[in-house]
Amino acid sequence: MEISGIISAIVIGLVIGALARLVLPGRQRIGVLWTIAVGIVAALIGTALAAALGVADTDGVDWLELLLQLALAAIGVTLLDRVKARA
């Protein structure tokens, strides 16, 4: 992964984290910074997973890669919310 790919994954991760909170029902007990962190990690993992599956480089928008990132971010936000709820 090149530096431009990492930077774009971070920028997309900011948006992905926010979208993950929007698609999840109810209130999440995690802060904005945790949401951003989960989004960035999900974007990086989603990009690597999409590259491994061969769907990262397509003509136009990489919808499958974005869906992978969003799903991973939603899972991450849910898991972190449950951990915070127990604490």
pLDDT digits (tens, 9 = 90+) for 32-47: 889 889 998 998 898 8
The mean of the pLDDT values for the chain is 85
Q: Quick one: tokens of 72?
A: 């991973």
pLDDT digits (tens, 9 = 90+) for 52-78: 988 877 777 788 888 998 999 999 999
Q: Are 47 and 1 in contact (CB under 8 A)?
A: yes
Q: How confident is the model at residue 1 (pLDDT cuts 50, 70, 90)?
A: low
Per-residue pLDDT at 8: 78
Measuring CA to CA, which residue among 27, 42, 31 is closest to residue 74? 42
Q: How confident is the model at residue 4 (pLDDT cuts 50, 70, 90)?
A: confident
Concatenated DSSP letters of the chain: --HHHHHHHHHHHHHHHHHHHHHS-S---S-HHHHHHHHHHHHHHHHHHHHHHT-SS-SS--HHHHHHHHHHHHHHHHHHHHHHHH-
pTM to 2 decimals? 0.82
